Amino acid sequence: MLNMNQNFRDKNLLPIFQKLQSGERLSLEDGLTLYNTNDIISLGKMANYVQQRKSGDAVYFVLNQKIEHTNICVLSCKFCDFAVKKGDANAYEMTTEEILSKITPEITEVHITGGMPADWKWERYVDIVRSIHEKFPNADAKAYTAVEIDFFHKKFKISIEEVLRQLKAVGLRTMPGGGAEIFSERVRRLLFNQKIGGNVWLNIHKTAHKMGIPTNATMLYGHIETIEERLIHMLKLREAQDETGGFLTFIPLAFQPGDTGIKPSNQFTSAIDDLKTIAISRLMLDNFPHIKAYWVMLTEEVASVALNFGADDMDGTVGHERIAHDAGAISPMQLTKEHIIKIIKDAGKIPVERDVYYNPLNVYADHVVGKIPYLNSIPFYAHFEKRQFRILPVAPRRMGVLSEKGQIDAGLFSLMDYFKQDENLELMGWCLASRDQVKSVTLFSKEGWGDLNGKKIGITDDTATSVHLLRVLLEKKYNVHAQFERLHAGVNDVSAYDAVLLIGDEAMKRNKSGLHGFELVYDLAKEWYDWKKMPFVFAVWAMKKSLDESLKNALKEIITHSLEKSEIDFVADARLHGNEIGWSEEETRQYLEGFNFHLGEREMEAMMEFRSLVLDIETVTVR
Does the protein bind ligand V47 through residue 370 (CB under 6 A)? no
What secondary structure, in 3-state letters, does 310-362 show? CCCEEEECCCCCCCCHHHCCCCCCCCCHHHHHHHHHHCCCEEEEECCCCCEEE
Q: Is 109 in the site for ligand V47 (CB under 6 A)?
A: no
432 makes contact with ligand V47 (CB under 6 A) = no
Per-state percent for the chain, helix, strand, coil, to nearest 5: 45, 20, 40
> Is residue 297 within the footprint of ligand V47 (CB under 6 A)?
yes
Q: Cβ 267 to ligand V47, closest distance in Å?
A: 12
Phi, psi of 245 (to 5 degrees): 70, 15
**Piece of 25-33, 148-156, 170-178, 500-508 that binds ligand V47 (CB under 6 A):** 170-178
> At closest approach, how far in Å is the CB of 119 from ligand V47?
22
Question: Could you tell me the smallest distance in angstroms from the CB atom of residue 50 to ligand V47?
Answer: 21
Among 294, 374, 419, 444, binds ligand V47 (CB under 6 A): 294
Smallest distance from ligand V47 to CB 35, Å: 20
177 contacts ligand V47 (rule: CB under 6 A) = yes
How far is the C-alpha of 185 from the C-alpha of 296, rounded, in Å? Answer: 27
Provide, rounded to whole angstroms, the least separation between the CB of residue 432 and ligand V47: 35
418 near ligand V47, judged by CB under 6 A: no
Q: Does 176 engage in binding with ligand V47 (CB under 6 A)?
A: yes
- Contact with ligand V47 (CB under 6 A) among 8, 79, 484, 595: 79
Stretch 224-283 residues interacting with ligand V47 (CB under 6 A) = 251, 253, 255-256, 258
CA atoms within 13 A on the CB side of 8: 18
Number of residues binding to ligand V47, judged by CB under 6 A: 24
Residues 22 to 51: which contact ligand V47 by CB under 6 A?
none
- Distance between CA 332 and CA 281 in Å, rounded? 25
Longest dimension (CA), the chain: 78
By CB under 6 A, is residue 214 in contact with ligand V47? no
Alpha carbons 86 and 23: distance in angstroms, whole number: 52
Nearer to ligand V47, 30 or 353 (CB): 353
Q: String of b and e for 407-445 (b: at least 16 CB within 10 Å)?
A: bbbbbbbbbbbbbbeeeebebbebbbbbeebbbbbbbbb
Residue nearest to ligand V47 according to CB distances in the complex: 178
The binder of ligand V47 chosen from 68, 274, 315, 409 (CB under 6 A) = 315
d(CA 387, CA 420): 29
Closest approach of ligand V47 to the CB of residue 313, in Å: 8
Sheet arrangement for strand 140-143:
64-67, 109-112, 140-143, 172-174
- Minimum distance from residue 182 beta carbon to ligand V47 (Å): 9
Q: What is the dihedral of CA 290, 277, 576, 508, to 10 degrees?
A: -30
Element (H, E) at 594: none
Q: Based on the shown chain and the rule CB under 6 A, indicate whether residue 393 belongs to the binding site for ligand V47.
A: no
CB of 180 to ligand V47, least distance (A): 7
**Which residues within the stretch 138-167 sit at the binding site for ligand V47 (CB under 6 A)?**
145
Are the beta carbons of 113 and 64 closer than 8 angstroms? no
Task: Give the helix/strand (H/E) hosting 544.
Answer: strand 536-544
Nearest distance, CB of residue 116 and ligand V47, angstroms: 12
Q: Which stretch binds ligand V47 (CB under 6 A): 68-76, 88-96, 212-220, 432-440?
A: 212-220
What mask of x and - would describe binding to ligand V47 in positions 319 to 358, judged by CB under 6 A? Answer: ----xx--x-------------------------------
Q: How far is the CB of 294 from ligand V47 (least distance, A)?
A: 5
Single out the residue of 248, 226, 225 nearest to residue 237, CA to CA.
248
How many CB atoms are closer than 10 A to CB 362? 14
Task: Measure the N-to-C terminal CA separation of the chain; round to a whole number of Å.
Answer: 40
Q: 595 with 434: CB under 8 angstroms?
A: yes
Binding site for ligand V47 (CB under 6 A): 79-81, 113, 145, 176-179, 181, 216, 218, 220, 251, 253, 255-256, 258, 294, 297, 315, 323-324, 327
